[in-house]
Amino acid sequence: MKRKSLLFNCLWGVALLTLCAIATMQTRSVRASEDNLIAVLNPAVTEKLAERVPLVAPRLDTLEGKTIYLVDMNYEGFGPTPVFDEMQMWFAQNMPGVKTIYKLKSGNYVADDSALWREISENGGDGVIMGVAG
């Protein structure tokens, strides 16, 4: 019985010494890294509003007879989403005078697709509905 108690106490002692050693090493590491701190900006919302920029393109007074591009931003690069198919069907049923062209942007939502923007501009796109859907 005394042997078990002695072994148990020894194991507790080793565990305690190990934890103390780890804590000491972490404290030294923190002190050493304090000299190498950098400033980080917090991207959270601030009280100051962003500067407002006027719209360059004039608003359309009507969609009748116009060509509207439905651009799927291809979030995460997974491919087309059914939301834009639904939007295109809605326009066909409720506003048949509006021509809609569905386009899937190449790359993911942050990648530039200059060929698509050029196509919309050159083909006389009157408006664009862009979205990240899924």
Q: What is the pLDDT of residues 9-38, one digit of tens each?
A: 555 655 655 655 565 655 555 555 556 666
In angstroms, the Cα distances linking 51 to 30, 46, 48, 54 are 40, 13, 9, 10
Ranges of residues in the chain with a pLDDT under 50 are none
Q: Where are the domains of the chain?
A: 2-30, 67-131
What does the pLDDT read at residue 94? 96
